[in-house]
A = this chain, B = another copy of it.
């Protein structure tokens, strides 16, 4: 069960850490950083992708530059089981993450909007999801940091 098929050794972890830092670097550079030839580094990274350890190569953007300067976390209380409400939350583009949480029957969502007015509008739309009985929004004043999952 789970995705954890196969073993991720220390070299794999070092490769992943390097790729998290900069996925544009050449395999020769990458290999040198972990003590491997370019070809060997290429092979291991390919396998990490095949096995799903590396899910994708992507870019990190500045949310403010894209008009998503307001960040908030919203607790969504519900009167029913929300286990298969994925699509309902995914349909709201401003929602970046959605998690089912322990405790009360709730979903925790991470929301990014341009303004607080738009945040309010997202809350309104959350109430249209079946089973949703309440929301508690927490607005972020300053982000200390957001970083990749530690690989080592």
Contacts and interface: CB of A to CB of B under 8 A. Distances in A.
Interface residues of A, number: 64
Given A100-B141, A100-B142, A149-B96, A22 B56 contact: yes
Interface in A22-57: 22-24, 51-57
Nearest to A88: B144
A8 B65 contact: yes
Contact of A16 (B59, B107, B143): B59
B138 A108 contact: yes
Given A138-B108, A144-B107, A149 B68 contact: yes
What is the oligomeric copy number? 2
A99 B19 contact: no
Contact of A140 (B64, B86, B108, B138): B108
B55 A57 contact: no
Contact of A57 (B4, B24, B62, B140): B24
A56 B102 CA distance: 34
The 7 lowest CB-CB distance pairs between A and B, nearest first, are: A98-B144, A53-B65, A99-B140, A23-B57, A55-B60, A100-B142, A19-B59
